[in-house]
């Protein structure tokens, strides 16, 4: 029986297997050998992102008519697990353009799709601007406003923690067009990065995923043509941003699954070589049970991610599934990367080995794209809405 592209026996199709192998080869050849130096020196992996884009790995969900892969969320999460296994920072850095593209895929006009999705498939970078200095989890507390003046909107406000901002050619920006209406007064805009009044902050010195570029973006009387109001309709921004989260959360969760899998694989290799008390430490049951638990949790997280992605592909509302997948995968990856450091002992605490970078990189997934607390809020709301 075929269910939205996956056999219920959990076997991937030949095409999906080929895609997975291509992404795995890319991670092994282009990401893993460079990830430590990118992180240490805070180098944005521009060239590797371009290569991944040329292979079509970063734009699978963009329709073919705009140059994308025309595939589903399911194919996307298979590929993103491999990129996350390569390095969690690379996965985030290379994911900003898709994140900014989701609201255009779900709510953009044909002209917006043709222009801005095509820019992404041709290798330009985009960034997603929702968070502000005073508003993260509480999106309705944003202050950015867009006021219509003739054929333009004038945008004023500051966004914070914007991934990819320093390299972006365009931004998705959530702003109020009618502050009195609360969340029903928000609209999404596409803002080109070279417009007058777009000002970038310094690159943030983050704990992990240091190759990813994160900074503030200030919009100071930025004049945006009315054609760049997403969907051509005011006050649709909130619903569209929420629908985009339902697509992006399985993707971010798959990064976490990949990062955890990478940490487990590295821990198995290390524990097979390292001797203590006259045998490889993997022969001590305390260690092999830690690895068994890692494998179970990774498998469980992957199943949640696959379910959330398949539901998105079937056209059904997947808000609850996406929240389950994001919450569980993010917390699981934090736990597993911490356990991997433990298995490496003192060497795990050194940046000479990859698990310290994986542990630092795992942390932010519990914070961005809706923190683990916010996912619990969504899960409880979705579960209890009829009670
Ligand atoms: C490296 C990095 C990259 C990012 N990239 C982007 C990006 O590209 N675009 C973008 O728009 N944003 C981005 N963000 C911002 C990110 O989405 C926010 O940091 C996140 O939503 C949390 O918001 P906050 O930092 O303001 O924390 P707050 O909202 O102030 O939350 C602080 C703490 O309180 C908890 N909390 C808040 N409300 C509740 C509640 N109701 N119940 C229980 N607990 C609660 C939170 O879980 C958190 O632990 C990025 C952040 C980082 C660190």
Q: Take atom 50 of ligand 1 and give the residue whose Cα is closest.
A: 161
340 and 244, same structural domain? Answer: yes
The last residue of one of the domains, among 97, 121, 145, is 121
pLDDT at residue 252 tops 60: yes
Residue 39: helix, strand or coil by DSSP?
Answer: helix
Compute the average pLDDT of residues 197-215. Answer: 98
**Residue of 99, 101, 137 best suited for mutating to test ligand 1, as the one with most atoms within 8 Å of CB:** 137
pLDDT at 6: 55
Identify the band that residue 1 occupies on the pLDDT scale cut at 50, 70 and 90. very low
Rounded CA separation 365/206 (Å)? 13
Identify the band that residue 272 occupies on the pLDDT scale cut at 50, 70 and 90. very high
pLDDT at 8: 63
DSSP tag of 145: E
pLDDT at 199: 98
The last residue of one of the domains, among 235, 264, 281, is 235
Q: 346 C-alpha to center of ligand 1: Å? A: 32
Which CATH number does the domain housing residue 99 bear?
Answer: 1.10.540.10
Q: Take atom 23 of ligand 1 and give the residue whose Cα is closest.
A: 136
Compute the average pLDDT of residues 174-196. Answer: 97
Contact 170, 225 (CB under 8 A): no
112 and 135, same structural domain? Answer: no
pLDDT at 386: 74
Atom of ligand 1 nearest to the CA of 159: 11
DSSP tag of 58: S
Residue-averaged pLDDT of the chain: 96
Residues with CB under 6 A from ligand 1: 96, 127-131, 136-138, 161-163, 206, 214, 364, 367-369, 371, 373-374, 377
**Packing angle between helix 354-363 and helix 319-344, nearest 10 degrees?**
150
Domain that holds residue 363: 239-384
328 and 221, same structural domain? Answer: no
Tokens found for residue 118: 């095509």
Residue identified by tokens 């900003």 is: 96
Which CATH number does the domain housing residue 187 bear?
Answer: 2.40.110.10
Is 369 a residue of the active site? Answer: yes
Q: Take atom 31 of ligand 1 and give the residue whose Cα is closest.
A: 137
Compute the average pLDDT of residues 44-61. Answer: 98
pLDDT at residue 178 tops 60: yes
- Candidates 152, 266, 369, 382; catalytic one: 369
Q: CA 21, 126, 84 angle in degrees (round to 5)?
A: 30
211 and 154, same structural domain? Answer: yes
291 and 209, same structural domain? Answer: no
115 and 138, same structural domain? Answer: no
pLDDT at residue 140 tops 90: yes
Task: Tell me the whole-structure pTM to 2 decimals.
Answer: 0.96
Contact 191, 153 (CB under 8 A): no
Identify the band that residue 387 occupies on the pLDDT scale cut at 50, 70 and 90. confident
Domains: count for the chain: 3
pLDDT at residue 54 tops 50: yes
pLDDT at residue 366 tops 90: yes
Atom of ligand 1 nearest to the CA of 135: 26
Atom of ligand 1 nearest to the CA of 130: 11
166 and 77, same structural domain? Answer: no
Identify the band that residue 296 occupies on the pLDDT scale cut at 50, 70 and 90. very high
- pLDDT tens for 57-84 read 999 999 999 999 999 999 999 999 999 9
Rounded CA separation 106/180 (Å)? 25
The last residue of one of the domains, among 121, 152, 168, is 121
pLDDT at 5: 54
**Residue of 366, 371, 372 best suited for mutating to test ligand 1, as the one with most atoms within 8 Å of CB:** 371
């Amino acid at each position: 029986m075929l269910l939205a592209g996956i056999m219920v026996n959990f076997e991937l199709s030949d095409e999906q297997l080929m895609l997975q192998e291509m992404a795995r080869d890319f991670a092994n050849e282009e990401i893993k050998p460079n990830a430590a130096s990118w992180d240490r020196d805070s180098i944005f992996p521009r060239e590797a992102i371009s290569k991944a884009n040329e292979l079509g790995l970063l734009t699978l969900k963009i329709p073919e008519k705009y140059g994308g892969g025309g595939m589903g969320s399911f194919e996307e999460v298979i590929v993103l697990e491999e990129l996350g296994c390569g390095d969690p920072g690379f996965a985030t850095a290379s994911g900003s353009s898709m994140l900014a593209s989701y609201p255009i895929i779900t709510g953009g006009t044909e002209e917006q799709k043709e222009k801005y999705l095509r820019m992404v498939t041709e290798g330009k970078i985009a960034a997603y601007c929702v968070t502000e200095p005073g508003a993260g989890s509480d999106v309705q507390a944003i202050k950015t406003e867009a006021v219509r003046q003739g054929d333009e909107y004038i945008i004023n406000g500051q966004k914070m923690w914007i991934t990819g901002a320093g390299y972006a050619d365009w931004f998705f920006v959530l702003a109020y067009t009618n502050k009195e209406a609360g969340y029903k007064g928000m609209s999404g805009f596409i803002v080109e990065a070279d417009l007058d009044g777009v000002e970038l902050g310094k690159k943030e010195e983050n704990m992990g995923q240091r190759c990813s570029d994160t900074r503030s973006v200030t919009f100071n009387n930025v004049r945006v043509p009315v054609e760049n109001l997403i969907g051509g309709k005011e006050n649709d921004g909130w619903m569209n941003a929420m629908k985009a989260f339902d697509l992006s959360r399985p993707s971010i969760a798959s990064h976490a699954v990949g990062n955890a899998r990478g940490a487990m694989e590295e821990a198995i290799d290390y524990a097979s070589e390292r001797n203590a008390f006259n045998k490889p430490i993997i022969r001590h049951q305390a260690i092999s049970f830690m690895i068994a638990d890692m494998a179970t949790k990774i498998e469980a997280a992957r199943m949640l991610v696959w379910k959330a992605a398949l539901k998105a592909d079937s056209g059904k509302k997947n808000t609850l599934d996406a929240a389950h997948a994001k919450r569980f995968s993010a917390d699981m990856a934090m736990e597993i990367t911490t356990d991997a450091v433990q298995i490496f002992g003192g060497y795990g605490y050194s940046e000479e080995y990859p698990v310290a970078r994986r542990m630092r990189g795992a942390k932010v997934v519990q914070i961005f794209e809706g923190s683990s607390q916010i996912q619990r809020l969504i899960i409880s709301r979705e579960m209890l809405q009829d009670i």
